[in-house]
């Protein structure tokens, strides 16, 4: 799987201790639609990092070996631009007997990725955080994620 980074223990992006996987690609839709420079994105430095080709099996083994984590968060850039890799990783977790929550952070809205959502609904315990980053927006608490999101247009929903 192509990734920019992997954090074994993250306590910021979900209410449960999580492994955080940063994906490798972004189309910068949040910035281009608002005519903002990409450097304003919190992930602009991440995008400059080397792309790693990481074994899905190794990701799974690292996760399972950690007694602290109980969820996986996939985000960083735009996971839906790597849906085939994301899907295969989740499928590996499920086929290996791990049904822990998997959270996908996206800047897309549900109406923009209907087919992709339908594909993921075949796999259990998937949560998607939707919505683009909007500078100077009002942060709010999201009950599904159990954390604050920085833009009031962002929200999460359990799709399976």
How far apart are alpha carbons 122 and 33 in whole angstroms?
32
Kindly give the residue spans of alpha helices, DSSP state H, lying in 26-132: 29-33, 44-48, 56-65, 83-95, 114-120
pLDDT, tens digit, 9 for 90 and up, residues 70-83? 999 999 999 999 99
Span 26-76, pLDDT tens digits: 999 988 988 888 888 888 899 999 999 999 999 999 999 999 999 999 999
The neighbour count for residue 17, using CB atoms within 10 Å, is 15
Residue 63, both tokens: 């996760």
**Contact status, residue 31 vs residue 135, Cβ threshold 8 Å:** no
CA distance linking residue 110 with residue 155, whole number of Å: 11
């Amino acid at each position: 799987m192509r990734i920019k980074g992997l954090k074994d223990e993250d306590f910021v992006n979900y209410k449960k201790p999580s492994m955080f996987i940063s994906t490798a690609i972004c189309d910068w839709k949040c910035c281009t639609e608002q005519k903002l420079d990409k450097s304003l994105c919190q992930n602009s430095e991440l995008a400059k990092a080397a792309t790693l080709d990481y074994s899905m099996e190794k990701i799974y083994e690292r996760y399972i070996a950690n007694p602290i984590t109980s969820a996986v968060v996939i985000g960083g850039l735009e996971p839906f631009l790597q849906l085939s890799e994301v899907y295969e990783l989740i499928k590996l977790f499920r086929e290996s007997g791990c049904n822990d929550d998997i959270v996908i952070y996206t800047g897309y809205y549900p109406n923009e990725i209907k087919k992709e959502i339908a594909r993921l609904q075949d796999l259990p315990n998937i949560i998607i955080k939707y919505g683009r980053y909007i500078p100077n927006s009002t942060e709010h608490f999201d009950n599904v994620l159990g954390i604050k999101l920085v833009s009031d247009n962002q929200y999460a929903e359990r799709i399976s």
